[in-house]
Each structure stands twice: as C-alpha cells, then as structure tokens.
Amino acid sequence: MVQERTLPNFNAATAQITKQEGLRLYEDMVLGRVFEDKCAEMYYRGKMFGFVHLYNGQEAVSSGVIQAMRPGEDFVCSTYRDHVHALSAGVPAKEVMAELFGKATGCSKGRGGSMHMFSAEHKLLGGYAFVAEGIPVAAGAAFQSKYRREVLGDENADQVTACFFGDGACNNGQFFETLNMAALWKLPIIFVVENNKWAIGMAHDRATSDPEIYKKASVFNMVGVEVDGMDVLAVHEVAKKAVARARAGEGPTLIEALTYRFRGHSLADPDEMRTQDEKEYWFSRDPIKKFAAYLQEQNLASQEEIKSIDKKIQELIDEAVKFAESSPEPDPSELYRFIFAEDN
C-alpha cells in the first residue's frame, strides 16, 4: 500500500463554474496532455535534441492557476518543465513545437529549445534550466508592477505574476530569500509549488525537513495553502483567491499543489526509482479523466462535446507538428542575433 498525504478538503459545489469556464479548463488540460504525448513521439523519432521534461499528470496545476489570470497581461514564470505553462499562457502550440524542433519560427526563435520557452507577447518570463532560477526573476516582474503602480503612479500596472517550481526547488536558498522579500514588500505574486514527490530520483520526504511545503510560508508571515493538484477546480479556486489577494495589494501566497508526473523525470530517464504501486495510485487520479467525468455528472458537458474538444486539440497538435517540420532552421547568418538588444 502507498502511504500518501491526506488531501485537503474541497467541496466542488462551492466552485460553481459555468459551462464555458468548465470547457475552457478541460480544453486547456487536454491541450497540455496531447501536446506532451506528441512531444514524446517526436523526441523518440529524433526530431528534437537535448533534455525534454514532460508535464503529463500535472495539467490541473497549470490550467487551474493560469486560467485564473489575465492572459497576455499577467506574468508567468516557469522551470525546465515549461511547455504546458507556455501553452496555458497562450503561446500558440505551433510556436512551442517549432521551438522544440529548434526552428526559426519557435517562440524563442529556435535558440532555446525545450527548457527555454519565452514570449514577451504572452508575458511568459521563460523556462529556466537551473532549479529555482526563475523564482527571483518572477519576483522582479512582480516588483516592477508594484513600482510602476505605487511609485510611478501607473494605475494600469496591476499585473500579477505566477511563479511555478518543483518540490526540489524549495530546498534551495533562492526560495527562502525570495519569499522573504516578496512578503516584506507585499509583492503581487503567487508562488506555485508543484509537489510531484520527486526531484529526479530523490524522494521529497528524504530531502526536506518538513515535507508540507505550504507551512514554510508561515515563517514569512505569508498565506500558505495546500491543494489537491489533481483536481483542476480545487486548484482554480485557490488560485482565484491568491490572484485577487495579489491584485488588491495584499501580498503573495504560497500554493502547494500535490501532484505527480506520469512519466520519468525527462525523456532520457528510465524511471526506475518509483514503485508501480505509487504510479498506479496516481494514474487512477488522472486530472483530465476526473474532470471529464465531473463535467458530465454536473450536466456541464455532454460526451459529444468532450469528444469534439479532444478531436479539435488532436488536429491542432497535428498542425503544430506540420508547421514545425516545414519551418526553416535559423539562418547561420543570424548566429549573433538576439545576443544583444537591438535598436529597432
């Protein structure tokens, strides 16, 4: 038997989502899942190089949080497991796929690859290869919103920043230093820990003094909440509250989402450390299957509507692959471009 943490109580009836909201959350999660499954296929067919870290299983966290924000205005900061955060933030699937293929049409112009998705247009602050590297960067984005609003008097500068990172990152100094500053300065930021129980092959419980990460917020006088990261509605509810708190100038929140990655750490990982029992426990809690069933039970969607979303997303991803395959490589004459800022 797998010993798992007791999940926090959540009454779905309090969520009261509309049909439109429900379908949007569902579609966003399916987009992440189908995209990542296609990535695995393309990686093993030799279409992309370097490390590729997939997000399968964790979709409810990305969708639940980012769909509670204002697309194209609020900032999102990711890690090396960044494709799905980029998609939820609105970066077109074809641009994310092209980036993975190293093509000039990719969202980072083919210069970044899997771990370095970026989009100024969609306020995606980047994927970051170093563990915890994005945390201070996200605090910088939140600081500039506050500074522009309070010091420069820009009424429109009410953007919130969401900063995603893993359980492993919470043992890193940047986590503690940044949370201290964010709380001190009441920055408009939400820290989202995706606790998937593992940092490559290191089990979370063996690596940290108190495995309940949300409790670490209390030493900074910050609100800390734990949430079932396999339940998109539960994540969405806590995210909405955290976004509202940040936007109202009441400061940051630390959200610990209890989740699981369905694949190995990266596509090069044989995934031999985790037990079959543990994997099966979490597979049975698949956030997408669970939410599809919920939508139907609540009469928010019919089986046909669910199927038509699945089909639409499958087509979109097939198009994304065609786009990536037919796109040009970056031109060698542009080797030195995008290293320094340009004047235009």
Residues within the interface to ligand TPP (CB under 6 A): 81, 129-131, 166-169, 196, 198-200, 265
Q: Which is nearer to ligand TPP, 199 or 313 (CB)?
A: 199
Residues between 51 and 90 with contacts to Mg ion, criterion CB under 5 A? none
Q: Which is nearer to ligand TPP, 22 or 264 (CB)?
A: 264
Q: Which is nearer to ligand TPP, 97 or 129 (CB)?
A: 129
Does 251 bind Mg ion (CB under 5 A)? Our answer is no
Does 166 bind Mg ion (CB under 5 A)? Our answer is yes
Does 256 bind Mg ion (CB under 5 A)? Our answer is no
- Out of 67, 161, 196, 266, point to the residue binding Mg ion (CB under 5 A): 196
Compute φ and ψ for 104, nearest 5 degrees. -65, -20
- Write down the least CB distance from residue 171 to ligand TPP, Å: 9
Q: Which is nearer to ligand TPP, 75 or 198 (CB)?
A: 198
For Mg ion, which stretch binds (CB under 5 A), given 52-60, 89-97, 115-123, 159-167?
159-167
Q: Which does 291 bind (CB under 5 to 8 A by kind): ligand TPP, Mg ion, none?
A: none
Contact 179, 217 (CB under 8 A): yes
Count of CB atoms within 10 A of residue 161's CB? 28
- Write down the least CB distance from residue 123 to Mg ion, Å: 25
- Write down the least CB distance from residue 260 to Mg ion, Å: 9
Binding-site ranges for Mg ion (CB under 5 A): 166-167, 196, 199
